[in-house]
Amino acid sequence: MKLARLILRWCGWQLLEPATYPRQSVICVAPHTSNMDFIWGKLYYKAVGQRAHFLMKKELFVPPLGWIFKAMGGIPIDRSRKGNTVEQVVDRFRAKDDFAVAITPEGSRKARDRWKTGFYHIAEEAGVPIQLAVIDYKQKRVGIFEQFVPTGDLDKDIRYIRSKYHADQAKKPHLFAES
């Protein structure tokens, strides 16, 4: 915990910490344009003494990397059936009292016109808040800056959440589409 905090501070990162961490939450992490986002995110959670799981396609969970990913909180997801991911993650929330999962709504480091909405549907179906998290390379800030409770109005809520993120925060701004 102290080592992770020291590494982040030594690298010039400011930690954004909410007053409290809910026992269960979906963590919306954006913009996601670099593999380094994962490193800074994992260091942040280690530094603040929290555990956040993350989703990866099941094909990446082969030994020995699969063991490492699982130890770090990775959850293998079978993406062969459309819509199945939401159900798989909601089941995890129902099975555990303490569970947080970090999801990048872009679903990729590549440029995208629109976000995937699975993170929203997971939070809504599980009845948990969405924590808005950023890895802001421009201001060197990492962490959670706001908590949001889904209202049930998907379009309005996604517009609101997206408005909180900007391309100039990304490691590679040209890969983040603002709209």
Residue range 143-176, pLDDT digits in tens? 999 999 999 999 999 999 989 988 678 677 666 6
DSSP state at residue 73: T
Percentage of the residues of the chain whose pLDDT score is greater than 70: 90
**At 137, phi and psi to the nearest 5?**
-70, -25
DSSP state at residue 25: E
Distance CA 75, CA 69 (A): 8
pLDDT of the residue at 172: 73
Average pLDDT of the residues in 43-72: 92
Between 176 and 128, whose confidence is greater?
A: 128
pLDDT at 82 over 80: no
Identify whether 128 is part of a domain. yes
| pTM score, whole prediction | 0.89
Identify whether 9 is part of a domain. yes
Identify whether 40 is part of a domain. no
**Structural domain of 76:** 1-33+49-171
DSSP state at residue 108: S
pLDDT at 115 over 90: no
Identify whether 130 is part of a domain. yes
**Tally of domains within the chain:** 1
pLDDT at 179 over 60: no
Average pLDDT of the residues in 53-79: 90
pLDDT tens digits along 12-40:
999 998 878 999 999 999 887 788 888 99
pLDDT of the residue at 108: 57
Identify whether 43 is part of a domain. no
pLDDT of the residue at 160: 96
Identify whether 156 is part of a domain. yes
Identify whether 179 is part of a domain. no
pLDDT of the residue at 91: 94
Distance CA 77, CA 85 (A): 7
Q: pLDDT band at 79, cuts 50/70/90?
A: confident
pLDDT of the residue at 6: 96
Share the mean pLDDT of the chain: 88
DSSP state at residue 58: G
**At 161, phi and psi to the nearest 5?**
-60, -45
